Amino acid sequence: MSKKEQQEISRQLFGTDGMRGRANEGAMSAEVALQLGRAVGYLLYKKGAQIGRPRPQVVIGKDTRVSGYLIENALVAGLCSSGVDVFLAGPLPTPGVALLTQSRRADAGLMISASHNPYEDNGVKIFSRDGYKLPDEEELMIESLMHGQGCEAFGESHLEQIRPHHWHGSIELNQHRPIGNEIGRAARISDAIGRYNVMAKQALNSSVSLSGLKVVIDCAHGAAYKVAPQVLQELGAEVISIGVEPNGTNINDHCGATHTDALVARVGIEQADLGIALDGDADRCILVDERQQVLDGDQILAILGRFMQQKGTLKGSCVVTTVMSNLGLEAALKPHGIKVERVQVGDRYVVAKMRELNSNLGGEQSGHTILRDIATTGDGLVTALSVLGVMVQEHKKLSELGAEMQHFPQALKSFTVKAKPPLSALPKTSTLIKQVEADLVDQGRVLVRYSGTQQMARVMVEGQDVTQVNQLVQEISQQMLNEIETISL
């Protein structure tokens, strides 16, 4: 199979953050989830056999979506049919699944979640035995096993075009059929939340208490609805919890990290010191200060980067972020001798660069913050506790800390597209982008990309004049949309 053909396959299931799509159809059907479980199980079984390890073990966690039951049972069936023992953690934040995978010495961890997406969607994130997300080449290997040569779906690039019966598996995969005592077993992990609770508290120095602080936390009716308020209370804070009544269909519904209006209002009503917004799987965090101002991931990185640098704990005097982060982050960190490394969008790419540089702080503007001394992936609760620790130790309000970074005006527009052609296939859009970049010179930038998890395009323009950047982002977005519509006819 050629490299180009392999890249076509990889675009069908795995995006920038695992698999994601509408639950019970296409890529997130029970049939495909079953095949995913079989493929993952087969690879783990094969690896174990090569080094003489006993039967593989996999940890599975999920958020609170009603479709979690469907996907979970399909994955379990596929894994057990490949001779893998499965341990079910139930509703648990994504970083909790990474933690359990490490601490139980499991061979892999699977998190069933569509993160900040609406409840109708679901997804699967896969962790290696070290607690880090799978690299691209291993995801490609899984897809190749699921795909099978000669499959009719070959070359299709959109999730909604995937038909479950096309993913019949390779001959190699279908010949792997453990029987009798070799079939895997499944069991529940009774203390999953407790284990994660203990890990999360490591973000706060043991001498630091949150006593006297009033905190409002919005758990988005998601995976952290039990554990996050519990941890904050045990550390001494007065906690007001919202978004903690999941019913299977209200996850991320006008709440959480992508919808902060309710949290902002509640912080004002309660006269709280801090508001914390998590998303559905609790791997991201957005904060609200006592003045009801929202702090994004860039501001969080600025606060933690400066504090860690002063304490001598910021490895390499480096913060890793993505091309989406505001130029104001670099301006805030440079006076402290901290350099900023940028990578493509996706927390997995941030983590990969952090591992390469041995950096211990990185993240995204969207609120994924990775504190690698504590967690292997973004962790919203750990992030919030770390910022609370700075507030307590420096005796500062969050508004004071947030003011350390000033945003450059930035406009972002996301819109649905029929196709995702490369920019090289959109000559008018490419020309317009070059013209805008020339006009901005070194006082701004343009970023155009497709979502790795949704059928959407995103256009971002950054500069010094807010009116100008808003106008430019509209012009580029409209030109791109028109050109895609034309070539899609």
pLDDT for residue 454: 79
Domain limit, last residue, from 355, 379, 402: 402
User: 395 and 458: one domain?
Assistant: no
Burial of 380 (0-12, 13-18, 19+ CB in 10 A): buried
User: 128 and 248: one domain?
Assistant: no
Q: What percent of the chain has pLDDT over 70?
A: 92
User: Residues near 450 by Cβ (< 8 Å), separated by ≥ 6?
Assistant: 417, 420, 456, 457, 458
What is the Cα–Cα distance from 230 to 384, expressed in whole angstroms?
14
Instruction: Give the mean model confidence (pLDDT) for residues 130-134.
Output: 92
User: 313 and 375: one domain?
Assistant: yes
Q: What percent of the chain has pLDDT over 90?
A: 76
User: 370 and 432: one domain?
Assistant: no
Predicted confidence (pLDDT) per residue in 27-60, tens digit: 899 999 999 999 999 999 888 777 777 789 999 9
Q: Judge whether residue 151 has pLDDT over 60.
A: no
For tokens 């912080």, the residue is 267
- CATH number at 453 reads 3.30.310.50
Q: Structural domain tally of the chain?
A: 3
Instruction: Give the mean model confidence (pLDDT) for residues 452-477.
Output: 90
**Widest pairwise Cα distance in the chain:** 69
- 9 pLDDT band, cuts 50/70/90, is very low
- 410 pLDDT band, cuts 50/70/90, is confident
The least confident of 17-31, 108-122, 302-316 is 17-31
Tell me the one-letter amino acid at 194.
G
User: 379 and 364: one domain?
Assistant: yes
| Residue 36 CA: distances (Å) to CA of 14, 82, 164, 260 | 11, 11, 11, 35
User: 373 and 481: one domain?
Assistant: no
User: Residues near 391 by Cβ (< 8 Å), separated by ≥ 6?
Assistant: 213, 273, 274, 397, 398, 401
pLDDT for residue 387: 98
Domain limit, last residue, from 190, 218, 241: 190
283 closest CA partner among 12, 97, 76: 97
What positions carry a catalytic annotation?
Answer: 115
- 440 pLDDT band, cuts 50/70/90, is confident
User: 115 and 234: one domain?
Assistant: no
| Residue 420 CA: distances (Å) to CA of 18, 155, 168, 334, 472 | 18, 14, 26, 36, 21
The least confident of 66-80, 237-251, 270-284, 438-452 is 438-452
- Let me know the angle formed at the C-alpha of 362 by 358 and 364, rounded to the nearest 5 degrees: 150
User: 370 and 414: one domain?
Assistant: no
Range of the domain at 481: 410-488
User: 162 and 209: one domain?
Assistant: no
User: 255 and 337: one domain?
Assistant: yes
Q: Judge whether residue 150 has pLDDT over 50.
A: no
Predicted confidence (pLDDT) per residue in 227-252, tens digit: 999 999 999 999 999 999 999 999 99
User: 209 and 233: one domain?
Assistant: yes
Q: What is the DSSP letter of 16?
A: B
User: 315 and 392: one domain?
Assistant: yes
Q: b or e along 401-440 (b: 16 or more beta carbons within 10 Å of the residue's beta carbon)?
A: bbebbebbbbbebeeebeebbeeeebeebbebbeebeeeb
Q: Judge whether residue 170 has pLDDT over 80.
A: no
Q: Is the pTM of this model over 0.75?
A: yes
Yes or no: say if 324 and 447 are a contact pair by the CB < 8 Å rule.
yes
pLDDT for residue 168: 60
Q: Judge whether residue 157 has pLDDT over 60.
A: no
- CATH number at 123 reads 3.40.120.10
Domain limit, last residue, from 386, 402, 418: 402
